[in-house]
Structure 1
């Protein structure tokens, strides 16, 4: 396991994980629970570095039933999911604690939001550097390299460390409006 960056603490049988144990992936995600014949088997929980968790029942390494809870305590529901839909865009913390006063609205589920390193994006489980295409956890450890699809999504939708300022040319605006164009 050392060769792939994983580790295991717990019971073994015939040199394989068997019984109760803790398996840590190279990404610092941890599985704590029951094992059988070297696989997740029985009840166990995956703890992710960002604070979220997945509690499940496993059979020979395959999930049979489980539930995901985000780091802020929001539990995912496969059916009748009413969080963050087109009618209600509140953050989970706003649903639990109420909206902040006018002028002090939240930009993320954390208030105040995390400070994003220069040139990077906040992509929910860490910071993304578009130059290196690396996603780093909020604590500073490597999470993953972004593929083209994830890169495009992050650049298009995520909060960035800089503000873009758009300046219009007042003379061009006046000339365009007098010509019948609505350019700003």
Structure 2
């Protein structure tokens, strides 16, 4: 395990994880629960560094039945999921605590939102630097290298550190007005 950067503390049998234990991945994701023959087996919980968790029943390392809870306490539901369904676009904290007064729009589920480092994006589980294509945790730890499709998704959809003027260019408006006068 030391070679991969993982850690384990707990019960063992014949040099393998067996019984109750705690397995920590190099990303600091932590599994706490039952093990059998070196694999997750029985009831166990994956705790993610951002505060979310996945509680499941495992068989030979495979989750057979489980539920995901986001860091803010929202539990994912397979059926009758009404959160962020297209009709109700509030953040979970707004559903729990109510909407903010007019003029105090909430940009993220966290209010006030995290300050994004210069020329980076907030991609939900950390900050993304488009020049290096690296995602780091909010605490500054390396999470992953983004591939081309993740880069494209982040650049197109995620909140960025800088403001950008959107709309029309003045000269384009003038050309459009002149064109309409001539028509």
- Answer whether TM exceeds 0.5 for this pair: yes
CA distance, structure 2, for counterparts of residue 3 and residue 66 of structure 1: 30
CA distance, structure 1, for counterparts of residue 40 and residue 17 of structure 2: 9
CA displacement, residues 79-116 of structure 1 (integer Å, 9 cap, x when unaligned): 21110111010000000000000000100000000000
Query: Match for residue 149 of structure 1?
Result: 149
Q: CA deviation at 1:175?
A: 4.5
Query: Match for residue 27 of structure 1?
Result: 27
**Is 1:118 aligned to 2:118, yes or no?**
yes
CA distance, structure 1, for counterparts of residue 173 and residue 35 of structure 2: 69
Question: SS at 1:151's partner residue?
Answer: helix
Counting only pairs closer than 5 Å after superposition, residues 60-99 of structure 1 correspond to structure 2 as 60-99=60-99
How many residues are aligned here? Answer: 180
Structure 1, unaligned runs of 5 or more: none
CA distance, structure 1, for counterparts of residue 146 and residue 78 of structure 2: 26
CA distance, structure 2, for counterparts of residue 164 and residue 73 of structure 1: 33
CA distance, structure 1, for counterparts of residue 30 and residue 124 of structure 2: 19
Query: Match for residue 170 of structure 2?
Result: 169
TM-score by length of 2: 0.94
Aligned-residue Cα RMSD (Å) equals 1.3
**Is 1:58 aligned to 2:58, yes or no?**
yes
CA distance, structure 1, for counterparts of residue 48 and residue 100 of structure 2: 29
CA distance, structure 2, for counterparts of residue 129 and residue 73 of structure 1: 28
Change (3 A) 1:100 1:43: same
Structure 1 stretches of 4+ with a deviation exceeding 6 A read none
Structure 2, unaligned runs of 5 or more: none
TM-score by length of 1: 0.94
